[in-house]
Structure 1
Amino acid sequence: MHDAPVDGYRSHDSRSHDSRFPGLRRRGFLAAAGGAAGLGALALAGCADSSGTSADTAQADAKPKRGGRLRAAFAGGGASETLDPHLSNLFADAARAKALFDKLADYGPDLSAQPRLASAWEPNAGLDRWKVSLRKAEFHDGRPVTADDVLYSYRRIADPEKTFRAKASLEPIDLKASRALDERTVEFVLKRPTAEFPNVLAAFGAYIVPEGAEEFDKKPVGSGPFRFVSFAPGKSAVFKRNDAYWDGAPYVDELEFIVANEESARVNALLGGQLEYAHELNPATARAHEGKGQIQIVRLRNSAMQAFAMKTDRPPFDDKRVREAFFLIADRKELVDGALSGAGEIGNDLFGKGYEYYAGGLPQREQDLDRARKLLKEAGAEKLKVTLDTSPVAAGFTEAAAIFRDQAAKAGVTVEVRTGSKDSYWADILDSGTLCCYRSGAMPIESHISQRLLTDSTTNATHWRHKDFDALYQQAQSTKDKQDRAAVYERMQRRLYAEGGFLVWGFADWIIGTARGVRGVAEKAPANSLDWARFDKVWLA
């Protein structure tokens, strides 16, 4: 698994199917959100109803109603699925965890951290101690959410004997030194200055559970908007409304998650009235049904970065002139139109378009084959031959590789496309090869830098290792003033734009289908963010 849910979700194979929903077959899958997967400027396209008006308009005009059961279909992980929120690796896991549990913070539409169970946070002058205040909230069994629950949850996640999803994200915290100041105040002691500490609180899988909780599949107790009713791994889960939820009771009475790996099965069940919400549709499906009145199509813009990753520590990409030439070879619109079927927008060789701290003022890079040839000649690489690793591990990968191969030929570069295993692709590309297809779901730009672009980053696919770049990151994390910090992040992005290893050619839409009567689906919600799959705010008109 590669950074799921930020970059992708890997499920276990399961080929059984639910007799109540004969069209819903299940099989293994991998997708991006994200982080999981998946995962920028998140304007949501209008969803058409039978009158041709957008669902956004319909939702704005509709008054929320209470009642009913919402049935939502996701691809799943078979019999090994769990409701343990610290083990969330699938989109289905993440959506179920969000329904039952809360985090201290979560990501807004621009991937900035927004308070949830935490009502406020405040650092000391050195940015290495943070005081976090908890809002008044209760678990489903009536117990208050306390500082001890928070510390227990984080220490459980950090258990060196376990492989919980958020473990790496919590690494900056010295959990032995951190303490409860009172029932609703936690003092987190950090190992180093961390200006973006709220991102840690919002980390994927960093859910708060009751102190001592270990069993989650039989009767999980959280503080989320829904309470547990039943769970059949690989088949379905049923939850009911939590009327005492601190952020307001959900509108629907019940929420049912149904496992359906086949996209066609999810669509057919939606068309047949067996579902109200179908996660992860492909662009062809969206085009076939958008504006036709049978179902609503929701497009979550800029949800997944699409890129080619060049290894900057080995020939030919250890020469920055070759990297710049490849930036100029790419026809980004052709890649978006061909590999994503037009369901996305072009990129500019930087992660996080539209997210907090994104350097949006840099010129949009265009194809320039003459300049590319000139740079290659200067680098002594006029008749360059390279291998591009790809795999059907993610939508559009093999198509993007073929399109770029043809684009490169126009600049005199021979690209040999090599197709790898879906099962081992993400592990293989970390250290092998020189050029590969890459994608990432939504995460803060700071997290992208720390996880992928520092000398000691564990998922550094471009092998971008520069001590002065590392020092800029530490400078940003030691800078309390947000405007000054943003200026440091812009310096880092300008350098990546000029000579980095990620050729970011596009940002894919994440596509969801809903029944015509569904209202309240968030308009700006990349996968992995707070409002994605937030069913407590959805109602049935």
Structure 2
Amino acid sequence: MNDERFPALRRRGFLAATTGAAALALVGCGGGTDDKADSGSGGTPKRGGRLRAAFAGGGASETLDPHLANLFADVARAKALYDKLADYDADLSAGPRLAAAWQANKTLDRWQVTLRKATFHDGRPVTAKDVLYSYRRIADPKQAFRAKASLEPIDLDASRATGGRTVEFVLKRPTAEFPNVLAAFGAYIVPENATGTDFDQRPVGSGPFRFVSFAPGRSAVFRRHEDYWDGAPYLDELEFVVANEESARVNALLAGQVEYAHELNPTTARAHEGRGQIEIVRLRNSAMQAFCMKTDRPPFDDRRVREAFFLIADRKELVDGALSGAGEAGNDLFGKGYEYYVDGLPQREQDLDRARALLKRAGAEKLKVTLDTSAVAAGFTEAAGIFRDQAAKAGVTIDVRMGSKDSYWSDILDGGTLCCYRSGAMPIEAHISQRLLTDSTTNATRWRHKDFDALYQQAQSTRDKTGRAAVYERMQRRLYAEGGFLVWGFADWILGTARKVRGVETKAPANTLDWARFDKVWLT
């Protein structure tokens, strides 16, 4: 964009949409108490003003169709205009949004969902028919909508409206975690019979902001929805500005051309934190950082080799070197701090002597292995180099192979034996179902065990949450002992705001409800 209103936002090109595990897998209010300097809730909320938020974008092909949302900018715009039936709280449990309540039958294969009273921007009420239309549109086999796989448990042909604001969802199998389906990324509710052209020219949602204008690859302007069911936003207007380069977003923030800059790197955060010009917000536990070991092929089909690699990793060195310290050590399990996470397991530490002994017993004393990486995600190439040097101390030779940024995620899904990997926040149940079952479509570790699949089905058939948590713990303990994910860290997601911005949530990981939630933000 070469927009004279925002000279600091000039840049060289557009950021291509990522796919696979690093895509938006890739979702404030509340916060600190210092009214003078923090981005939290300090002071009494004030109405008025326009907030300008800078995000990396997707070029001229950008759309406001919420079912196509893939980039962070797409989702931020979608959640300003639209609502889902449920959304994820800070611990990745599902909380109600347009759905006021839900209730399952005894066998957990039929769920009654009651909608709250809410209206679209044109005054029409949100009804059960809108919900079914939205879900059937997402599930269209001719389309590639993001939430399609998440809605797979629903038999949409059998599901029906049982009243103006009640829906009976008929499921293909027992699904105790059905609220996660309602909160799925991209599962936004649109008006019945909305067409593709409506979304970019005259989008109508039930979200906190109404559409004003949209220039793909440049900007989008929205205005307060006074009748929003969750309370009208404090801001008069919200403008999304596209700035692909991090330096452009930071410079625009420093120059007062925007008030919110998304996705800053750790070096920038360190340079500006506490200096008084801008505020740095760190969203903890937003992205899992890992190495994927293919468990179905040598050398990682031997669990002793996988355990040896767990013990080779110096996690602090990886966090410090690859993430510039902007994160915390992982313990070979996804979802630290999320609902159902097993946090009582011993923290893994580097133990090169035991790693060598395990490799010797596995007949892999002079092991050579290729580690696939790419510049597709921040820290990947650095992590590969650091781990290569750590492995050498255990007698393992790692050949680091650079892959294409354009095809990396598809390349490493089925190919290779060891690769760099990351994931945004999602429920632990979703991580298991999408990545660790025999028929999971993104099973990058090739973890395929029928007894593990059976445990997942047992969890989904268990009505009692305590009993369900016990099954998830069994599954996680097994993954900790012999799984294929070497989870070495969890990265912070870093934002920058102007000092006059208040209400930005500081405790919600990216991908949750309160990430990029501008209806609860205000300007002093």
C-alpha separation between the residues in 2 aligned to 1:168 and 1:38? 14
- From 131, 136, 146, the equivalent of 2:117 is 136
C-alpha separation between the residues in 2 aligned to 1:219 and 1:27? 25
Contact persistence 1:408–1:415 (CA under 8 A) = yes
> Within 5 A, what are the aligned runs for 1:81-480?
81-214=62-195, 215-480=198-463
Q: 1:461 to 1:420 in 2, by over 3 A?
A: same
Q: In the alignment, what sits opposite 2:511? A: 528
AA aligned opposite 2:492: D
In structure 2, the residue corresponding to 1:381 is in which secondary structure? coil
C-alpha separation between the residues in 2 aligned to 1:538 and 1:457? 38
Q: In the alignment, what sits opposite 1:27? A: 14
Q: 1:158 to 1:149 in 2, by over 3 A?
A: same
C-alpha separation between the residues in 2 aligned to 1:462 and 1:235? 39
C-alpha separation between the residues in 2 aligned to 1:228 and 1:86? 17
Q: 1:394 to 1:310 in 2, by over 3 A?
A: same
Contact persistence 1:172–1:192 (CA under 8 A) = yes
Deviation (angstroms), 1:524: 1.5
- 1:390-433, Cα deviation, whole Å (9 max, x unpaired): 00000000000000000000000001100000000000001111
C-alpha separation between the residues in 1 aligned to 2:380 and 2:302? 25
- 1:251-293, Cα deviation, whole Å (9 max, x unpaired): 0000000000010000000000000000000000000000000
Deviation (angstroms), 1:31: 6.8
Contact persistence 2:31–2:503 (CA under 8 A) = no
1:513 and 2:496 aligned: yes
Deviation (angstroms), 1:490: 0.3
AA aligned opposite 2:320: D
C-alpha separation between the residues in 2 aligned to 1:34 and 1:106? 20
1:502 and 2:489 aligned: no
Q: In the alignment, what sits opposite 1:37? A: 25
- 1:462-521, Cα deviation, whole Å (9 max, x unpaired): 000000000000000000000000000000000000000000000000000000000000
Contact persistence 2:34–2:42 (CA under 8 A) = no
C-alpha separation between the residues in 1 aligned to 2:193 and 2:511? 27
Q: In the alignment, what sits opposite 2:3? A: 18
C-alpha separation between the residues in 2 aligned to 1:393 and 1:250? 36
In structure 2, the residue corresponding to 1:317 is in which secondary structure? coil
Q: 1:530 to 1:469 in 2, by over 3 A?
A: same
Number of residues of Structure 1 aligned to a counterpart in Structure 2: 519
AA aligned opposite 2:54: A
Work out the percentage of aligned pairs sharing the same amino acid.
82
TM-score, normalized by length of structure 2? 0.97
Q: 1:84 to 1:60 in 2, by over 3 A?
A: closer
Q: 1:212 to 1:60 in 2, by over 3 A?
A: closer
Deviation (angstroms), 1:47: 11
Q: 1:146 to 1:187 in 2, by over 3 A?
A: same
In structure 2, the residue corresponding to 1:497 is in which secondary structure? helix
C-alpha separation between the residues in 2 aligned to 1:384 and 1:90? 39
Contact persistence 1:48–1:290 (CA under 8 A) = no
Structure 2 runs not aligned, ≥5 long: none
- 1:92-138, Cα deviation, whole Å (9 max, x unpaired): 11000000000000000000000000000000000000000000000
AA aligned opposite 2:14: R
C-alpha separation between the residues in 2 aligned to 1:34 and 1:250? 31
Q: In the alignment, what sits opposite 2:49? A: 68
Q: Out of 419-428 and 27-36, give the one that drifted further.
A: 27-36
TM-score, normalized by length of structure 1? 0.94
C-alpha separation between the residues in 2 aligned to 1:30 and 1:310? 26
Contact persistence 1:148–1:211 (CA under 8 A) = yes
